[in-house]
Every structure is written in structure tokens, then in C-alpha cells.
Structure 1
Amino acid sequence: MALSQRQQEITELLDLGLRPQAMKLRRLLLTENMQRTLEIEGASLNSSAITDTYMSLKRNIENRDRYETFNRIPSVKCGFSFTIDFSGSMNTYRKPTTWEQVLTTAYCIGKLTQTMGVESNCAIVGVNAIASHNVGAVGSTDSYVAQAVIIKDQKEKWSEDLYKQVWGYKPSTGTYLSQYIQVSLDMAKKINAQKRVAFFLTDGEDPGIYPYLQSFVDIAKAQNIHLVGIVFTDSAQTAREYTKRIPKNIIIVDDPKDLGQKMIKTIEDLFPKRR
């Protein structure tokens, strides 16, 4: 079954808008591949220690430096995780809805980058209120239970069928920012790549988490993950609340093309600039 007219219009618009940025990322990854061998594993003779080895043999002593050892470098240059707010406000009255725009961006970026060897996974996270104390769900508190649904893991490929299936989901839960972050970090940990980004997106505010945002950034950094928050909003007040907490780790957008371009730019910036 083909894409609907609305789906086709927004995907074509995004594909066209993201193509220049995607080509730039592709060239960057090709350059990185030429700069460094993809996989190195094993050992070779250490020529600088040959004399020591000879003398050690004469003395019947083992020279442990006779081999140069190499560590295995992940064959995937970079990867990213993306968690999407599944609160009711994402299902806006205007068409395409915020949910449809964000999902389409995830689909288009995933489809473009998977051809470059970039691994990615994507999930939606919702929260239901007034949970039982006996509920054992991950992320549960006395009042809330967060639930994550993995749309695509790193072993899967984005496809039109998957995109159409998820398009039909209707956001209808509450906002729980800490769980968007936690799920994105958990997914990023599963990606065996040299560079990893954990994106989380919301369209609303969650004042209770603001004082802890920088702590989440620091925790991610300690795990070699670059944590980036995305706020899809046209509210200057909402944008300010996030920006003043983690100015270097936040993206403010209200347009899917801008969202896609900034996500790709974030991936580009993981790599050092080469002359």
C-alpha cells in the first residue's frame, strides 16, 4: 500500500531539504573511513623491543613488551538513539500534527543515514498517571508509570511499511522528561560505535526535571554518549527554560526540516574538523 498524499508530501519535502546536509555527512564519514582502519585486532612484533627480547632470552627472562597489541575499533563510525514524547499535546489539531512531523523526520533521517553505515534506534515514551504501588514497570513512581515502545532497534532498517504503521499511533499520555532521557541513553548504550548521540524530544515543559538536566548530560558524557535535547515548540518561554539549563545540549525547532538539519549537524559535529 502506497503512502497517503499527506505522508508523501511531507516525506518528499524532508528528503529534498535534508539531501545537501546528508551528502555533507556522507562525505565526512567517507573521509573518516580513509583516515583510520575500520577494524584492528591482534598483535605484531614490537621492533623497538627486539634488543630487549634478545637479551631477555639470554637471561631466560620473558619480555612482555615483545608484542605491540592493538585494541579492536568498532566498525561503525557513529550511531544515534532517538526518543519521542508521546504526550497528548503531540497530537495537534493542525495537519500534519507535531507527531506526524517528528515521526517523518525520524524516518527520513534514519533512512538516509542507514545507507552510510550509521546505526540508529527509535522509541516513543509515554506516561500514565495514578499507577498502583504494586506495578513493577521500569520508571514507575508512586503516581506515574512510564512506558517505552521501541519503534526500530539498531538491527532493523527503516521502511515505508514501518513508517506507515507507526504513523497510525495517536499520542495520548503525559510528559515525563526524565524517562525520555533514560530510554534514549539505554538505547544508545546498545550501539557499538565510535561516536554516539542520544536524542530526546519533547514539545512541552517539565519543570521538575530542569534542575537535573545538566546532571543527565554529565552522566551521558561519562559513558561516552553525547546527550542532546530537542524541544519542538514555537513558545519563546518554553525555549528559554531549556536553553538556560543546558545551552550547549539543546535544540529548539518548530519545523521538521530544521529539526532534521540540526540533528544531522549534531552528528557531523561529533567528528573533528579536518583541513
Structure 2
Amino acid sequence: MRIEDTAAIITGGASGLGEATARQFRKRGAQVTILDRDAKRGAAIADEIGATFAETDVTDEASVAAAIQTATKAMGQLTCAVNCAGIAIGEKTLGKSGPHPLDSFRRVIDINLAGSFNVARLAAAEIVRTTPQQDGLRGVIVNTASVAAFDGQKGQAAYAASKGAIASLSLPMARDLARDGIRVMAIAPGIIRTPMLAGLPAEVQDELAADVTCPKRLGDPAEYAALAQFIVECDYLNGEVIRLDGALRMR
């Protein structure tokens, strides 16, 4: 696949990793449709970079189906889906105020895991409509895991569970979609300077960066975007999770 021939939907494209990916893909000539719940910011970014925007709730089947229909109508086809939409909470299994609230645990799983699967399955149904290219390939799905999938910290039970499931999803989904010429990959970012982290005090950011092996800094969303582009263009990458963390191993 060539990035300039790619027609991609990017969830969570109104901020952080998703926004960086949308900007990178458009800069390299791909067609892009941003899917996000933030209609104001999503539409503004889409207008700025020459993309399409569709207000979307990734947990809702009808919402995602409508967004994919909008994307396909605007771009003429769909060959790539990048799942960046997600949330994180900090709650211990048993905290000072009692057990971890079940509702908040379910919400994280619903958005991070079920939402990603919802987008992936519906995107696959549209990607399969395209004409196979070299080696019978039609497209690629990129999901977002996290180093928390492997090195989850205290207070990350819900988040780590959701991202661990995303990591486990890559291989069976790749096998499921192999006959359709659709590859599936996952990126597991470490500590990335997203808007959420950027709002922390400088000393806290410095402490986080000090734990990274090399280079000793927070990751840049642009590095996630560059890796997502590489995955799109490297046809032999499939069914794998790539850590993007500067060799960070959280303790």
C-alpha cells in the first residue's frame, strides 16, 4: 500500500494520537475522514487539513455505520482504519472509598475495546468491497494498545485490561481477515505527550520522562503517526503489536 493511495478513517482524530495521524496522513497525500465525538474541534481540524469529519460514538453501531458511509461517500472507498479513540481512568481494585466501581470499569472496556472492535469489524466490511491490489491486499486496520497492556500500574486495572485485550486481538483478527486481504496491526505507545499529559506540571512530566530508557523524554504524537504510516506502507507487517516506548518498562 502507498500512503498517497490510502483512504482512511481515524477515530479520536480530533486530538492527541488521532489528530497527529490525521495530519500526517493528509500531509503525505492520503484521504482522511476524522471520527470523533468532539464535533466542533473535529470539524475545525478536518477543514484545516482538507479532510472529512463525521461525529461518531465508537460504541454505537449505527453511529459508526453512518460515519463509515459518510467517509466512503467522501473518499470513494475505504482502505484503512486507525483506532485512536479511548479513555483512561485511575481507580484501584479496592480503594479508600471501596471497591472499583463496576460502571467505570465497563465504560473503559466499552470505549477502548468494544469501540475499537466495532469500528474494525464495520470498516472491514467496507474495505472488502475494494479491488484487491498486489498480493491480494485490500487494506489495513491499526488498533491502539498501550504498554499498560504488559506493564499495567496500580490504578490501571480497567485501562490495562482494555489495552491487553487490544493486543490479544491483533493476531486472531488478522487471521480472520486474511482471506479478505486485510491486515491488522496494533501500536502500544508508552508515555506520549498527549493533551492529557501536557496538562500535568512540568516536574511531573520530567519524572515520567526520567523512567524512559532512551531517549529520556516523553514520546511525541507525531512518532505514533509516523509508525502508523509505516504500517500502512509495509505490507508484510501483520498480526503484531509494536511497542513505541523508548524501551520503557514500567515497574
TM-score, with normalisation over the residues of structure 1? 0.40
Between Structure 1 and Structure 2, the one with more helix by share is: 2
TM-score, with normalisation over the residues of structure 2? 0.43
